[in-house]
Amino acid sequence: MSTIGRRVSESKELVRISDRVSFLYLDRCVVNRDSNAITATDERGTVHIPAASVGVLMLGPGTTVTHQAISLMSDSGSSVVWVGERGVRYYAHGVALSRSSRLLEAQAEAVSNARSRLRVARAMYAMRFPGEDVSGLLMQQLRGREGARVRAVYREQSERTGVEWKRREYDVDDWESGEPVNQALSAANSALYGIVHSVIVALGCSPALGFVHTGQHRSFVYDIADLYKAEISIPLAFDIAVEETEDIGAVARRRVRDAVYDGKLLSRCARDIQRLLRDESEVDTADFDEIEFDVLSLWDGRTGVVAGGVGYGAGHGDEF
């Protein structure tokens, strides 16, 4: 089917993010295109999915995707993310779901200023310490508070399950040599990182521009994932250690998958990221389900931005 001369969809024609299926996972199938739908074909038959109804398409193991399918997903304002089994490991991504650079610019601006960076870091810690006032704490104090909190979480989970806890340690070159609870923690955290990474890139943000973590290409991923570890990966790891299962890694990934689905973590993560990066004056009225489709503008040193698609020359106020 030829696409020569096909008109690109306008933003007003696309389905609102709040009306879309947020994340669709496919594996072991061929993904193609039929008109304005993507198709998933395996030995059971073919399923048609309206492309504009999908927020992020997650392609798991065994998928083959055509150029036409990717072209349609891009035109529909949908992101494509290549992931591991059941979506728990992130590998790569296509076009971001958002066609606006607004969140990325807000992230870069906030992380580049010490005062705003501390503000976002405090907001992150406030999410971890509900009911506690951290508005006056410096980064050194926040780190100390976090360290105490994590130790308390490990101690509580150890008492709950009866699993002995010594310390967090693992050898990346000899993963199986670690204690079962540490193996489970490593596998669960890895799955959580992949899921958070996919949300970050779908929103058009940078995984590298972290506020607490820094200097690594997934710094922001670690920032956001830390918001959920005490709720998801740490309790799951202690539960798995009690069971004395042989394939700890596989069990941990499945448990994280189920916890993410049951707790609607994907939509919650997207909302948390936007709340952290948006201007405080926008938070109360923000539509966190709606991803923006801004028109292309030009940067201006005086006014900030000016309209794009305009011939600026004589008569437009240029000074030479």
- Residue 48, annotated ligand binder? no
Give DSSP secondary structure letters for 205-237: --TT--SSS-SSTTHHHHHHHTTTTTTTHHHHH
Taking 80 as the threshold, does the pLDDT of residue 88 lie above it? no
Q: Give the three-state DSSP class for 96.
A: coil
Q: Give whichever of 71-75, 94-98, 208-212, 294-298 has the largest mean pLDDT.
A: 208-212
- Rounded to whole angstroms, the Cα distance separating 21 from 187 reads 28
- Rounded to whole angstroms, the Cα distance separating 306 from 111 reads 25
Q: 28 falls in which pLDDT band (50, 70, 90)?
A: very high
What is the tens place of the pLDDT at every residue in 219-275?
999 999 999 999 999 999 999 999 978 889 889 988 998 898 888 888 889 899 999
Q: What is the arithmetic mean of pLDDT over 283-287? A: 50
Taking 60 as the threshold, does the pLDDT of residue 294 lie above it? no
Cβ-contact 274, 286 below 8 angstroms? yes
- Rounded to whole angstroms, the Cα distance separating 219 from 117 reads 14
Q: What is the reported pLDDT for 314? A: 55
What is the tens place of the pLDDT at every residue in 134-176?
889 999 999 998 889 899 999 999 999 999 998 887 766 666 6
Q: What is the reported pLDDT for 300? A: 64
Q: Give the three-state DSSP class for 274.
A: helix
Q: Return the closest-CA partner of residue 229 out of 259, 202, 199, 249.
A: 259
Q: What is the reported pLDDT for 12? A: 41
Q: What is the reported pLDDT for 132? A: 81
Q: Return the closest-CA partner of residue 224 out of 247, 246, 244, 198.
A: 198
Tell if the pTM clears 0.85, that is, is over it: no
Tell me, yes or no, if the two domains 11-93 and 102-279 fold the same way. no
| Residue-range domain boundaries for the chain | 11-93, 102-279
- Residue 197, annotated ligand binder? no
What is the tens place of the pLDDT at every residue in 104-143?
999 999 999 999 999 999 999 999 888 788 889 999 999 9
- Residue 146, annotated ligand binder? yes
Question: In sequence order, what are the residues at sequence separation of 6 or more whose Cβ sits closer than 8 angstroms to the Cβ of residue 106?
Answer: 277, 278, 279
Least confident of 60-69, 275-284, 287-296: 287-296
Cβ-contact 83, 198 below 8 angstroms? yes
Query: 11-93: CATH homologous superfamily?
Result: CRISPR-associated endonuclease Cas1, N-terminal domain (3.100.10.20)
CATH fold of 102-279 = Four Helix Bundle (Hemerythrin (Met), subunit A) (1.20.120)
